[in-house]
Amino acid sequence: MAIKMRVLYDSKKKGMGQFAKVIADKYGLPVNATSSKFPPEYPCDKERIVILGLSAKGEISDEVRRFCAELSKIRAYNVALLIDGDQATADKVAEIIKNAGTNLVGVKVISFGGFLMFGGALTDELRGELVQWVEDMVAGCV
């Protein structure tokens, strides 16, 4: 199934990059549909869904906050938010996304463990859980 989709993440943890690659491979996304830079090299434009993965506890970077505040329906019809951190941060980012005017289809809070680039890798169990979560988010958008 072809769907206009982006996977964007802001994390130095190995697991978040692995997650983005798994989703990009599963959906056959082109190289420019996956990015760890904010703002991304290619702006979102009428994406059916943006999967946004962030490693954050408490505060998010100003670049990410500004990007989320600009996620209108013109940029992305739907956004699914994956937070490697805490629920309070997830709630804060979710509120920014909702105020931008797009449809927040799901929020998932996880923990890759570790510290920064030494953060845990994506385990098989977590990979399966996250792939199923993304499948559910995508199914709700088509």
- pLDDT tens for the chain, 142 residues: list them: 578 999 999 998 889 999 999 999 999 999 889 999 988 988 899 999 999 999 988 888 999 999 999 999 999 999 999 999 999 999 999 999 999 999 999 999 998 876 655 567 788 999 999 999 999 999 988 6
Tokens of 57: 């506890």
DSSP annotation of 70: T
Contact status, residue 98 vs residue 69, Cβ threshold 8 Å: no
Give the integer Cα–Cα distance in Å for 10 and 45. Answer: 19
The DSSP element (H or E) to which 52 belongs, if any, is: strand 49-56
- This prediction has a pTM of 0.91
Residues paired with residue 81 on neighbouring β-strands, in sequence order? 52, 107
Cα of first residue to Cα of last residue in the chain, in angstroms, is 10
